[in-house]
Structure 1
């Protein structure tokens, strides 16, 4: 990520604020203690590299994928600012995004932001583009591209399916009715001459028109009997990850769209997604996936609270943020990014889509969530199937923890927030209030010099502590319930705490007002969390790890956090690097994904830490042969210290 400046070399000092109690906050990075740089010096050091572009030597795959992507300046770019963004000091101080950031702008930059908020286009000027890129990457603003370069003819649709012939027919009929596929000659004949002994058959439908998809590849993952509409077939079931890999590897277009057979895309669902790919560093964009309406109790519950529905607000997708993942039930991915990362991990039966998204982010790509595009998803028809689905989702936490460490932690907060709520749970509410108030009082002293008023800083601290309490309530009734519920149910105070934790479901019902009465809503929410939590514990037991159950506590090192670091150390299954589950986020990001100027974050309420480019760069950096080993990471850190004194 490059530094951002306004016109005529104006200066920008970017400051990031992470509220450790905020549910969308990452773990606390270590202090680098290095002074802030001028943005124009940072730009000189960065050269003309675009945000997210890998440093030299990172391999040619990304460059090959971007060679034909074009610049975002080819179209008209406007910004829509996030509703949670707040401004002070005549617009020179912005607070917003996920994780929460403070962005300080010069007067010229503040005037540009004012123009963009009134609907003016960003324009082709490189300095304006860099400032816009910084706002978009922080989640303070969201891009809107007019006259996008890519069309439906640049997209290959891949549909992995097993046995659901009727659902596949309904999906293809919906696409045909929307005019996105060529309905002529729908019947595909299997080609018995398979590849590599798999008997894969390829018979694709070519559209050839700008208003239709280039081709549709239906991958039959070992259905019995075989699906007549399949264009590729596995002789035996190999899982959805393998089916998607088989499909995208046969695609010849710049983009690949994945749709599960049980979804129903709305007409025009692809256009809002394709516009984001005008930015060359965007690797994947996902639509909003809502549950299809129905009259049964399960359908009405899923309509109000589907596990695939990520809300109405657009957002960047990255771990430890408001939108930390997107499902592959409906997803559009750049083919070059899939080639670079070798697609989905076929060893994962569940959670392979989360793993792909996090690997894309770690490699320096951007992933976006665009709710303007909507896709309907058919809910499970039986209660047992629904509970099994939630259980299976929970089992993915352990393999994800083995690959991404503490990114799957059920609780992420500061040590001081944890201590304050622990005091409340122990029957010492006054002590907890003193700890919370004392740490919150320190935050204005840190943020006021940055331009944030004391009232704004106190509000951030208060919301952080309250968010930490909600996280703990979620964990008690979700990931931790097999241990926490029996423990709390044994005491009177524990039963009160458990009732308060479950009471948040009634507050959720009051906000959503679903077509389900409160008692049954409370019961279904409890079953939903219990099934997922049981899956987390089962997956952790099978994998022999506690990482998916451990909290992420930021703040000063303590005996507790040191112990958690030690017991969550796991060896990576792809290389000989010991992956630490509680390693800071900056240690899992490549150097090209860090800011060229210092980023300061509030590691806990009342403390500001600095995160520079030298915070363990290259530790998990992608190279031509995969993830770097620990020795190579040490060499990269030594080299980085020489580049960034």
Structure 2
């Protein structure tokens, strides 16, 4: 009782408050008169069984997020922190200092080159040390630490992050929801006080680990589809044996998707924060981006329905193809196709008071999503093909140039980095080139192009 949720920015009322549009994926939720009265000022509170069912539906649909300030704090002694470590004793000492003395901590030394330095740090901080005989990667190291956890909750913290004093208590509140198995904070760039170079300033604004400023349910094909393993807080019983041990990259994505497939909820909470030491040189930064991309093929084998780089409805593919033709008839034809698609959608909204209006809104969202996904494919996942084809096609060359510029402008305005536009745009394109190289490398080694193929389905939502 008292569990409170608030509708998020994507949820919109229609039909005099009896229809709720939004969620992830987008849907229309039809409310009874009684249910509509349970939502006051976009907020719903669990007070009995009907309100509990409504709140559960809002959370599961991605239309609402928990109001953490209204939830009781859980006992922090119920959390054990597991830290995989390979070298970097100074970073480990910094992390352990930020964790403090409130939690049991297990450091797993993944066969560091200087084990004595790791041992000295753990002894200074009074934490438990587990040493592995051979280097197995962070997934296996976390799993070895997980074997020693006896508390209801476990946090995994990489040695190159720094915690705030309220990071764990804030995330822990999400576990008042018995269906939550895993939660993750916002991961920001660590500033050591010596100033940031242009790569670090780009990462500060557009890091692969920073998932934004809005709380969200986490699952495939949602605005937040994964959580970085830099820091995670989980329900010990739900995690089972933990991460896929053989994975050295993408193990965090795999864990999230497996939990979702098992029916658990996963939450992203940006009000909880950790700071990550980003790479400073161009070479190490690009190598890391390409390394992330190499997870694509392995993930496509374990989660073939979730790995697609883009999801289209058949009609939106036709709209994109028509616009890429760049003919005088392209815009009118795209408009006609979209209008027909909107009409088809409206026929499925017979319970709505204004099906045409809602269908028009959903169709517009679909067109915008198709265009943005196409741009992302051209500049990120498909860039080798796009560049090769643009040599022979003036229209594709124009489309690729427009995608490069529009993407950079949009991200620059959205993130407002402490960096001039030209260096930001250059970093943005290098980021995409490196990641796409990693994806292609994994696909060709597979060999399988499944991780590069979009998913075209009649009902992408």
In 1, Cα distance between the equivalents of 2:266 and 2:415?
Answer: 28
Instruction: Choose which of 99, 102, 127 in structure 2 pairs with 1:175.
Output: 99
User: Are residues 1:508 and 2:411 paired?
Assistant: yes
The match for 1:534 is: 437
Q: What pairs up with 1:222-241 in 2 under 5 angstroms? A: 222-226=111-115, 227-228=118-119, 229-230=121-122, 231-241=129-139
Indicate conservation of the 8 Å contact 2:316/2:370, yes or no.
yes
- Secondary structure in 2 aligned to 1:436? helix
Indicate conservation of the 8 Å contact 2:17/2:36, yes or no.
yes
1:473 Cα offset (Å): 0.6
- Secondary structure in 1 aligned to 2:254? helix
Instruction: Choose which of 62, 67, 92 in structure 2 pairs with 1:139.
Output: 62
Unaligned runs of 5+ in 1: 1-72, 182-211, 556-602, 610-645
Q: Which of the pair has the greater relative contact order for Cα pairs under 8 Å at 6+ separation?
A: 1
Larger Rg: 1
Q: Which has the higher helix share?
A: 2
Instruction: Choose which of 294, 318, 332 in structure 2 pairs with 1:419.
Output: 318
Instruction: Choose which of 336, 341, 365 in structure 2 pairs with 1:439.
Output: 341
Instruction: Choose which of 218, 223, 226 in structure 1 pairs with 2:107.
Output: 218
- Structure 1 range deviating more: 452-461 or 271-280: 452-461
In 2, Cα distance between the equivalents of 1:480 and 1:549?
Answer: 8
The match for 2:79 is: 155
1:480-539 Cα deviation digits (max 9, x unpaired): 111112212432212210111101212321333212211211111110000000000100
Change (3 A) 1:95 1:473: same
Q: What pairs up with 1:93-108 in 2 under 5 angstroms? A: 93-108=19-34
The match for 1:279 is: 177
User: Are residues 1:343 and 2:242 paired?
Assistant: yes
The match for 2:49 is: 126
Q: Report the TM-score, using the length of structure 1 for normalisation.
A: 0.67
The match for 2:455 is: 552
In 1, Cα distance between the equivalents of 2:254 and 2:71?
Answer: 32
1:467 Cα offset (Å): 1.2
1:452 Cα offset (Å): 4.7
Instruction: Choose which of 277, 286, 295 in structure 1 pairs with 2:196.
Output: 295
- Secondary structure in 2 aligned to 1:353? helix
1:445 Cα offset (Å): 3.2
1:448 Cα offset (Å): 4.9
The match for 1:522 is: 425
User: Are residues 1:330 and 2:231 paired?
Assistant: yes
1:236 Cα offset (Å): 1.4
In 2, Cα distance between the equivalents of 1:497 and 1:147?
Answer: 49
In 1, Cα distance between the equivalents of 2:77 and 2:111?
Answer: 29
1:272 Cα offset (Å): 1.8
Q: Report the TM-score, using the length of structure 2 for normalisation.
A: 0.93
Unaligned runs of 5+ in 2: 123-128
Instruction: Choose which of 369, 372, 395 in structure 1 pairs with 2:271.
Output: 372
1:113 Cα offset (Å): 1.3
1:456 Cα offset (Å): 2.8
The match for 2:125 is: none
Q: Which runs of 4+ in 1 moved over 6 A?
A: none
Indicate conservation of the 8 Å contact 2:92/2:160, yes or no.
yes
In 1, Cα distance between the equivalents of 2:279 and 2:418?
Answer: 18
The RMSD of aligned alpha carbons is 1.6
- Secondary structure in 1 aligned to 2:38? helix
In 2, Cα distance between the equivalents of 1:343 and 1:301?
Answer: 32
In 2, Cα distance between the equivalents of 1:494 and 1:322?
Answer: 28
1:147 Cα offset (Å): 4.7
The match for 2:140 is: 242
